[in-house]
Amino acid sequence: MSTRRQFLSLGLWALAPAVAPGLLSGCSAGPRRLRIAAGDEGGIYVAFARLLAARLERRVDGLQVEVHITDGTQENYDRLARGEADLGLGLADSVAAAAQGDRGERVRALARIYENYLQLVVAADGPVRTVTDLAGRRATLGAAGSGAAVTGAVLLRAAGLGTDGPRGVHVRHSGLATSLDELQRGETDAVLWSGGIPTPILSEVDARFPLRMLDLGGLVPAMATLSGYPYVERRVPRVSYAPERLGVTVGVPNFLLARSGLPQQTAQTVVEVLAEDSARLMPEFVLGLQYLTPGLMIQTSPVRLHAGAVAAYRRLHG
């Protein structure tokens, strides 16, 4: 896991004047630093974080932004709660579950940024045609620290599938690249991923090992009832690994989070960059209902907004 947890320091130096002195704490000497807990290499979290890092470095003179490779939502939330990251990305349902008790006071929301698609893929010529066909088979539900792991558990329960006994689903957890390698070798029967669509690595694998994305739409009401989170159905754009008449899947919004102790001016600047540079912050490969819309950014319930974000929205929207 050491290679997955390394951070990628983008090192893009700012081209514009500083927004405000003292934007970041602990910056009396050397380049100022902002740490973003992102996600799995090849996913939309990392792509988005790198775009955001570049825009922030252009805005703030002398700022260096580090994009950290992580296992996803749960790890990102933990890093923020421990003060080991300044910003982090997370699926709304997993974040809502994590923000319980004292931990909820250590993390605040900056914005709702875009929507993920839950993508359960199998071998196109294999025996799994529906989620219930996974009974007695193996499924890889994202990395252990990912939001997909949380949502995947709800998905299996909604389908009436347990994880015990001969008819139970044999659940595994690993990153996307490893999971897809296992699928191609026949070591797992399904891979769950939550991200933008198409996800480039899924398209690449599909070109040599045809994949099929399963229809999950019929499970959305049961998922919402079981979890208490208002999951929504989303129609899937036409991509190579989705059948032409796939139907719908599960949509889950993403939040950009911050440690609660992040300086107010820093949080305000991040939100202003999100709103003013929104057209430049969506990776080119995504289709469909992924979005970064300033009018929706404030919708982060049940996670409380950071005071700096509140100030930014008041300036932007009056």
CATH code, 7-116+254-317? 3.40.190.10
- What pLDDT, in 10s, does the model give residues 69-103? 999 999 999 999 999 999 999 999 999 888 776 77
Cα–Cα distance measured from residue 197 to residue 117, given in angstroms and rounded to the nearest whole number: 7
Give me the pLDDT at residue 19, please. Answer: 36
Cα–Cα distance measured from residue 166 to residue 49, given in angstroms and rounded to the nearest whole number: 42
Chunk the chain into consecutive blocks of 10 residues (it has 318) and report each block's average pLDDT, rounded to whole numbers. Answer: 34 30 42 89 89 95 95 93 96 86 85 92 96 96 88 95 88 94 97 90 95 93 93 88 78 95 96 90 73 84 94 88
| Number of residues in the chain | 318
CATH class of 117-252: alpha beta
Give me the pLDDT at residue 147, please. Answer: 87
| Domain 7-116+254-317 shares a fold with domain 117-252 | yes
Q: Which one, of 285, 310, 315, lies nearest residue 300 by Cα?
A: 310
Domain ranges for the chain: 7-116+254-317, 117-252
- Contact of 191 with 146, CB cutoff 8 Å: no
Helix crossing, 176-184 with 200-208: angle to 10°?
10
Query: How many CA atoms are closer than 13 Å to the CA of 201, on its beta-carbon side?
Result: 19
- What pLDDT, in 10s, does the model give residues 195-253? 888 888 999 999 999 999 999 989 999 999 999 899 999 988 888 898 666 678 999 99
Amino acid identity of residue 57, one-letter, is: E
Chain centre distance of CA 296:
17
Cα–Cα distance measured from residue 86 to residue 84, given in angstroms and rounded to the nearest whole number: 7
Cis peptide before 198 (omega within 30 of 0): yes
Cα–Cα distance measured from residue 100 to residue 119, given in angstroms and rounded to the nearest whole number: 27
Give me the pLDDT at residue 289, please. Answer: 60
- Contact of 39 with 70, CB cutoff 8 Å: yes
Q: Which one, of 183, 116, 175, lies nearest residue 143 by Cα?
A: 175
Give me the pLDDT at residue 201, please. Answer: 92
Cα–Cα distance measured from residue 89 to residue 314, given in angstroms and rounded to the nearest whole number: 23
Cα–Cα distance measured from residue 141 to residue 240, given in angstroms and rounded to the nearest whole number: 22
Strand residue runs (E) in the chain:
7-9, 32-37, 63-68, 87-91, 107-123, 138-140, 170-172, 191-195, 211-213, 232-235, 248-259
Cα–Cα distance measured from residue 113 to residue 270, given in angstroms and rounded to the nearest whole number: 12
